[in-house]
Amino acid sequence: MSKKYDEVMDRISLSDESRERIMNNIKKFGDDSNIIRFTNWKKYTAIAAALAVVVVGGSVIYMQSNVSKQMDGSTYLLDSAYESATEEAAEPDVAGGTKGAPSNDGAFKTEEATEGEYDISTTIANPIVEYNSLKELCDAAGFEIKELDNLPFKITSTSYTLIAGETAQIIYYGEGDNEICYRKALGSEDISGDYNTYNYQDTLEVNGNTITLKGTEANLFNLALWQDSTYTYSLYVTPNCSRDVYENMISSIVE
């Protein structure tokens, strides 16, 4: 992205009239009444990334909205990133706070503003949190999830993660592309995250639980889904496996 940005900036030219107008706006902006104070530098790094600073003839200018730029013979209108991040964010809403400006993911979180000061912070959250052990995962999820047994291939590594604070996930990695993804969460919905269309479907009974098997080949399955009175489960295996393999694995965790 940085390389493309530099290539675009290298081809931007300004007329004398446009340059003078922009410089006048910068001088006006220098008034203390227009300054937005950030109380925590970590919170506005995303805002700084949105500001484009262009050096023309040794002078530093800020891009302003509705300034026409000439690029490859065509006119492009560059909207002001600074205006989007400050004027919109600084405008009070009906609740007395401040309106949000777009961040990297299109969402911007603003904290309550004090008089004469706007404190802006972005919301950046990773929905997947990894833990070092099964116990740590269970503690974070708030429920128990058991390790699978009777696995169809040798395991080389295992990861323990919690998705969106709700879905506990254990992934067993083997040689090559061999992989088993086991998930558990409260509720009854499909939590597999697998939305492929499978041509073959079957069921099996394991300790009173009805297991739905799905696959692309007859008698070989990629996905198993089931629920009990409290939790929903999914088990995805690569490569696809037989009914017996699924039954052996699931019987090790279903009572």
218, 145: one domain? yes
53, 166: one domain? no
The pLDDT, as a whole number, for residue 13 is 60
Distances 182 to 20, 27, 31, 148, 190 between C-alpha atoms, Å: 63, 60, 59, 8, 12
The pLDDT, as a whole number, for residue 126 is 86
58, 137: one domain? no
CA 31 to chain CA centroid, nearest Å: 38
11, 104: one domain? yes
The model carries a pTM of: 0.54
9, 43: one domain? yes
The pLDDT, as a whole number, for residue 3 is 55
183, 217: one domain? yes
The pLDDT, as a whole number, for residue 86 is 44
89, 166: one domain? no
75, 150: one domain? no
139, 108: one domain? no
Number of domains observed in the structure of the chain = 2
The pLDDT, as a whole number, for residue 15 is 67
Structural domain that includes position 95: 2-121
Instruction: Give, in degrees to the nearest 5, the angle at Cα 194 between 193 and 195.
Output: 110
Q: How do the pLDDT tens digits run along the chain, 255 residues long?
A: 555 545 545 555 666 776 677 666 655 555 544 444 433 434 444 444 444 333 334 333 333 333 333 334 433 333 444 444 444 444 444 444 444 433 344 333 444 444 554 454 556 778 999 999 999 999 999 999 999 999 999 999 999 999 999 999 999 999 999 999 999 999 999 999 999 999 999 999 999 999 999 999 999 999 999 999 999 999 999 999 999 999 999 999 997
Last residue of a domain, one of 100, 121, 142: 121
Last residue of a domain, one of 121, 156, 171: 121
26, 71: one domain? yes
The pLDDT, as a whole number, for residue 1 is 52
Distance (Å, whole) CA 215 – CA 156: 25
Distance (Å, whole) CA 18 – CA 188: 61
139, 192: one domain? yes
112, 218: one domain? no
Contacts with 20 (C-beta within 8 Å, 6 or more apart), sequence order: none
Last residue of a domain, one of 121, 136, 159: 121
